[in-house]
Structure 1
């Protein structure tokens, strides 16, 4: 797969029942495995929508008509620091609870019939599974960040077949995949009324979470709870076992060493981790991207489309969201400085990978050259050479997919 798969699961949905399995690999990644060779039309459709092969930004017309269009941050209709008005939503959520609050509003107002998102598996709490929520309580149950692999779109075509309006809350790459599919299937735009993204730091391998268990001498089959963060801002990584023991690690302790994040290869060259093709994108609001201590519940809220603006305004008017204050690109750049660095680096990284003779995704309408032009020549050369060398050593790829030897209880990862 050359390290371009993110394990969204859309290919499994498009291939049809029984053609592709999603398996957990020894590296701790959910990956598709075809049971038999796919026919050429199916393979072509999958390649046309896969967010590992094709990554498109906002339509040029949207950029022209936006209130603000920034080379790094894309189209912006409104940019605020805000949060969920409900204190419980704020506490349980992993930042300011904004996405949870919006999902609840969409259901309570009847704008959508259900929300597609992810949540901790009830059977295997360290794993993440796609969830359909039909009421506000179910949305709240899925609140909080999930850093491991998640096949959000594993049955997306079945969801479209329901013929009911829904909202998607997901990673930017998942939304990219669905926007790609919308070019082939008009039902996507007919039924997916809202796409809401979180600004993404990358999807970790499951082995990152397994290392946490090893720290405490635990096995996965002992777990009753594995919460990455939440119950505060950011809140601790909390583990509970079925026999009543509890363990916690602070957010800083878990994530302070970036070299040990165990981010999947596709994330390292992601040209849009900031949700440019979402209606609303929501970020943490910590200086330099990381909290020094437990902080005030707060999100950066980037409203990107007119549809998103109408929803945001309705949420504020209904008292579902609170605005702390308006902000601007300069401040969001400080709060998410690591995202700025990545956006500026991606063009050179992709060129370096190409020089190494490895495939890269086709990227359009994401201003990568304009972002790279904000670097010095030396910076771009360093990024390109680094990516070239890592690609040659195989560090930006991954081995052929094979399932782990241990079986998952429910047959899915």
Structure 2
């Protein structure tokens, strides 16, 4: 049953309330479904948020039905395996792209890129909706559609910071061709929910592929790196967060030919400086339970020690995802490694375990402070409730101090 609470105000009832309560992740669904009312824009804090175009910004029940700031659901299929932390799945194991170039370019082992290549080569998908570095502003990310294998490979690699991939969802649907989505877990939940009410999307959606997500920072994290180098964003010609190795260096290049780079550890060692957005701190599905396939890093303790050849942990969530993986292995696109047990995955992604166990307490604290939370279904939040009073008190304090609050942007001009 959907855990809807005792009163309607427990959950946001408008898009504005989603944003102002700190529940928005900037996925872009608002702009896709109602471009006449909403446009994605950057806030002064460096977050992508919907700004109201019309005088009726409260209209949006259709959007709220799938908005990841209002509702979160796991997929609903029965599966042979089920775990309290990781949810329903078919398999967990290591894998990597057989193509050495894909494996080198990609963020980890090239799993998602190889699957995108397989889908296009076989014709199962006519295109992929995903994201890329903005050619005009490479520190930033924009949604894109890849029609060719070369485009998918060229756009491989992680994009940290804000991304509004779903702003392109209606463009994808309007093409009326089979397509796949590669995105964040919260985006997957929105696409899955939207497909329940959009027959065209449901008919043409081939699969949803995601990365297991540690959270999306705001743009300030990236800007701080440019500030360290004394570089203006307008001069940047390349901002590569990961890839070209595993994890690969973060590399910045500018117009005059100069370049800087730092290690993954240098960029992310200080957790206090991650600038993770509020919605990510209470994410109910960072593990991709709404997707068909989730790809994860596989460093023990979640900490890479130097560079390696590139490996992914794969979680096939649905029959579709399991079949796709088997096809890609048979076609020679992916190499199959050893199985990963759920408790081993705990060690590879310990922050996900901690967050999953703390989530109920965090949500209680938010409610106690008088702020809404999202509805949730099939994600075992209540069953994992550790009754952590410290987490509950800290979340309540964050809300009371205004640290979850945001201002709904307005369009200029």
Give the conservation status (yes or no) of the 8 Å contact 1:19–1:35. yes
Runs of 4+ in 1 over 3 A off after TM superposition: none
- Pair 1:383-2:391 in alignment: yes
Q: 2:342 aligns with which of 317, 324, 329?
A: 329
Equivalent residue of 1:107, what SS? helix
Where does residue 142 of structure 1 map in the other structure?
155
Distance 1:229 1:93 in 2: 8
Distance 2:157 2:46 in 1: 21
Where does residue 19 of structure 1 map in the other structure?
37
- Pair 1:132-2:136 in alignment: no
Equivalent residue of 1:387, what SS? helix
- Pair 1:7-2:15 in alignment: no
Distance 1:158 1:57 in 2: 25
- Pair 1:56-2:73 in alignment: yes
Where does residue 29 of structure 1 map in the other structure?
47
Distance 1:164 1:66 in 2: 28
Give the conservation status (yes or no) of the 8 Å contact 1:7–1:149. yes
- Pair 1:47-2:64 in alignment: yes
User: Per-residue deviation at 1:295?
Assistant: 2.5
Q: 1:274 aligns with which of 284, 287, 297?
A: 287
Bigger drift between 241-250 and 293-302 goes to 293-302
Where does residue 91 of structure 2 map in the other structure?
78
User: Per-residue deviation at 1:288?
Assistant: 1.2
- Pair 1:397-2:410 in alignment: no
User: Per-residue deviation at 1:37?
Assistant: 2.8
Q: Which runs of 5+ in 2 are unaligned?
A: 1-18
User: Per-residue deviation at 1:113?
Assistant: 0.2
Give the conservation status (yes or no) of the 8 Å contact 1:104–1:136. yes
Q: 1:357 aligns with which of 352, 357, 370?
A: 370
Give the conservation status (yes or no) of the 8 Å contact 1:6–1:52. yes
Distance 1:84 1:29 in 2: 33
Give the conservation status (yes or no) of the 8 Å contact 1:25–1:402. no
- Pair 1:234-2:253 in alignment: no
Equivalent residue of 1:66, what SS? coil
Where does residue 108 of structure 2 map in the other structure?
95
User: Per-residue deviation at 1:36?
Assistant: 1.6
Where does residue 411 of structure 1 map in the other structure?
none
Where does residue 321 of structure 2 map in the other structure?
308
Using the size of structure 2 for normalisation, the TM-score is 0.93
User: Per-residue deviation at 1:58?
Assistant: 2.2
Give the conservation status (yes or no) of the 8 Å contact 1:119–1:141. no
Using the size of structure 1 for normalisation, the TM-score is 0.93
Distance 1:231 1:37 in 2: 47
Give the conservation status (yes or no) of the 8 Å contact 1:4–1:397. no
RMSD (CA atoms) = 1.4
Bigger drift between 244-253 and 323-332 goes to 323-332
Q: Which runs of 5+ in 1 are unaligned?
A: 408-413
Distance 1:397 1:334 in 2: 33
Distance 1:214 1:158 in 2: 36
- Pair 1:115-2:128 in alignment: yes
